[in-house]
Structure 1
Amino acid sequence: MAGPETPKLMVDVVIPAGGGVVLVRRGSEPFEGRWALPGGFVEVGETVEKAAVREAAEETGLAVELSRLVGVYSEPDRDPRGHNVSVAFLARPVGGELEASSDAAEVAILDPRSVELAFDHRRIIADALGEE
């Protein structure tokens, strides 16, 4: 017997660097072409912490160490694909080279206020960096 339908679990990672934040340009819908935090879906059998480290590496080429939990973002309409709940972390780079992967069209260190962001990532970044 199948269980109830529940929201899907995701992670987002805020990586401050060089006076900005590491962002990826989305290569697919939703929000294709917009900048977003590195992140993605948590795999079965994986902790949210491991998922955050894996997604950061896959999408940015950077090895990161998680600093702290930023928050849980669960607004049902935050993602046009469906009800996806994101656990967001603040992280710092500890290795690797900044390079886009197959998941991302481009990766860069940008001032998040200077670009159009996908999803609710502006709010997540503000929460992570203690901004209004």
Structure 2
Amino acid sequence: MKGPKRRKFVIHQNPKPTVDAVVEKDGKVLLIRRGNEPYRGTLAWPGGFVDVGETVEAATLRELMEETGVKGKIEALLGVYSDPKRNIREHTIATIFVVRWISGQPEGGDDAIDAGWYDPSALKEEEFGFDHWRILQDYLKWKHEGGTFWSST
């Protein structure tokens, strides 16, 4: 008598899902100042890794609250950024949402040493970590033209 057929399991090294929230209020965007490496001290969108069992939407709102103390509501998908070089630690795939501010005054929390509202026209590329400057440029374009963005556009 033959035993059960054995299955082969393949271990994949997959990219990690991340999220970021683009929040604008009164013409200013909400950014954090990173407290951890890589890019410690640079500006970034509030965001982070998606936990097991969590949707990207829930992760976005959780990270927004943890890092800034701000409560928001997801309004739109800005884009998906999957360039393997976007994060120097490892390959990540970031889902970026446009989030409407609901309440809360920004204050750095979790791994953010600061959080606040910034005038987009006063920001410079070298102030940002990762590809977050590009996300700002895509957001500004989205405000005027709409659309969805991804790494290769």
Q: TM-score scaled by structure 2?
A: 0.81
Residue number in structure 1 paired with 2:54: 46
Question: Which protein has the larger Cα radius of gyration, Structure 1 or Structure 2?
Answer: 2
**Structure 2: how far apart are the matches of 1:42 and 1:14?**
16
Matched-pair contact (CA < 8 Å) for 1:60–1:101: yes
**Structure 2: how far apart are the matches of 1:95 and 1:12?**
18
Q: Which amino acid aligns with 2:105?
A: E
Q: SS of the residue aligned with 2:90?
A: coil
Residue number in structure 1 paired with 2:68: 60
Residue number in structure 2 paired with 1:130: 141
2:132 matches 1:121: yes
Identity %, equivalent residues: 44
Residue number in structure 2 paired with 1:102: 110
Structure 1: runs of 5+ lacking an equivalent: none
**Structure 2: how far apart are the matches of 1:51 and 1:106?**
20
By relative contact order (CA 8 Å, sep 6+), the higher-ranking structure is 1
After TM superposition, give the deviation of residue 108 of structure 1 in Å: 1.1
Select between 36-45 and 94-103 the one with higher mean Cα deviation: 94-103
**Structure 1: how far apart are the matches of 2:39 and 2:10?**
32
Higher strand share: 1
Select between 90-99 and 28-37 the one with higher mean Cα deviation: 90-99
Structure 2: runs of 5+ lacking an equivalent: 1-8, 145-153
Superposition pairs of residues 86-97 of structure 1, within 5 angstroms:
86-97=94-105
Q: TM-score scaled by structure 1?
A: 0.93
After TM superposition, give the deviation of residue 2 of structure 1 in Å: 5.8
Out of 20, 23, 40, the residue aligned to residue 32 of structure 1 is: 40
CA RMSD, Structure 1 to Structure 2 (Å):
1.6
Select between 57-66 and 104-113 the one with higher mean Cα deviation: 104-113
**Structure 2: how far apart are the matches of 1:61 and 1:129?**
24
Matched-pair contact (CA < 8 Å) for 1:18–1:109: no
**Structure 2: how far apart are the matches of 1:65 and 1:10?**
18
